Chain A
Amino acid sequence: MTEVQKIEFSPEAMLEVSRIVSHYPQDKMKSALLPVLHIAQNEFGGWLSAETMDYVARLLHIHPIEVYEVATFYSMYNTKPVGKILIEVCQTGPCCLNGAEKIVSYIEKKLNIKVGETTKDNMFTLKTVECLGACGYAPMFQIGETFYEHLTEEKVDMILENLKQEKLKAINN
């Protein structure tokens, strides 16, 4: 089932876009592209569809291709749908010295998915990412804007369960 979503920023998002655009000279609106894509991804289900990218191109008066090439270059932009909760585990050296690989396998087993996959209920997507600047607090993952550090299997269980309950509550309301 795919939801048909109208691609248009909420008034609050629109306000934020104008604030961001005002940071750059008037003829350099394209500079707002990265921050505006972050807003777009937040607004439209955690990923950037072609429609979303075209919409952003229109807003910033640039060609759609200029948006596509940026969206595909930067790893934080998802050009395919992701689950409601995107788990991004750091897999780089320093984290591996403190058990990052075990945390990844634990989550894979727990959610019964492999890295890169989404659970059947569309709740969780598991991704591995490169160093997030938390190497001293390893192992760690990022979900949304939050860093979860010094992870253990028990902590992972708790964090994921809490976030899932929150999401379910939000959906039911």
Chain B
Amino acid sequence: MKQNLCLSGIYRKVLWAMALMLTWQLALASGDEAHGSGTGEEKEFNAGEMIIDHIVDAHEWHIASMGKTHISVPLPVILFDEGRIVAFMSSKFHHGHEPYKGYRLMTEGEYKGKIVKVKTDGVTVDEEAGLPLDFSITKNVVSIFICVILLCVVFITIARRYRKNPGAPKGLQSWLEPLILFVRDDIAKPAIGEKKYEKYMVFLLTVFFFIFFSNLMGLIPFMPGGANVTGNIAVTLVLALFTFVITTFSGNMNYWKHIVNAPGVPWWLKIPLPLMPVVELIGVITKPFVLMVRLFANIMAGHIVALGFISLIFIFSAMSPWGASVSIVSIIFYVFMGLLELLVAFIQAYVFTLLSALYFGMATEEHHDHTHETEHAH
């Protein structure tokens, strides 16, 4: 009975959070609209542009816009240009309206969202100079840092709890313990094997909780959440690279033998044309590539769809005065999407961790029955 009450309490909280998220999204979108109309000529609400603006990285953390005033948190810009480091706050760009120290944040055109070098007039792009290397602490970087700090605080806290109280888990610990056990017992142990799983636990747990927490933070539409971290290909690229590097370095003789000289394959597939080795090598590269794309595409798509439903409100409102009534449907769909994204947040973290574990398992698999192994190789 108590559990039921507790659960319904959680549902209520989730719904409240959703409602809050929704109002914020509305505020954000309307702010964008105002932003669009505020830049001079009457600009129509462009859903595609608004959505892309929300899911790509940015040099400032936009919170809201009211009329012409934009409320945003400026973030440090760090440029590596011609052997020297240039650092300043992004507020110096005035949302891309003004150049600073010969650099300009582009808001339109080919270099949209990028920092370019401009000629002395401060407007035309200096095509010959090339782009400065941009190591800025962008919105996504800040979001990653927040996530890292959150993870450290949460897990070091519960680790202390574990050390002090070896008995039954309590509080936060009892919420996270099933997830830790899930990663250990349902991902690592079956995929890697009872004997070798332990040394991969650090990576698997870290990657699982990093993706899970980032995904959840991405669902919160306002600061410190709302950044599209796991829906950014650079982030998933790094995560997949970690998996790739660990897989490659833990590969045993059996694993490499499979790639160079796959057993159970006719010889003419290997000599004189090394067809199978090439295929196997492509497979090795494909695995992390797929990891990268899957996570990126899933999370980005979730953000796009959610923003799409919000955009519908503005599109229909612009079409007719009665168009705003479509917001009821939009909101219902948005809430539905939000709940779905909660599920996706977990599933994608699970899938990434599971596949990483499977690759580690393959790399450390001991030599046994051939027929079974050839199945695995694909």
Q: Do A and B come from one complex?
A: no
Interface residues, chain A, CB within 8 Å of chain B?
Answer: none
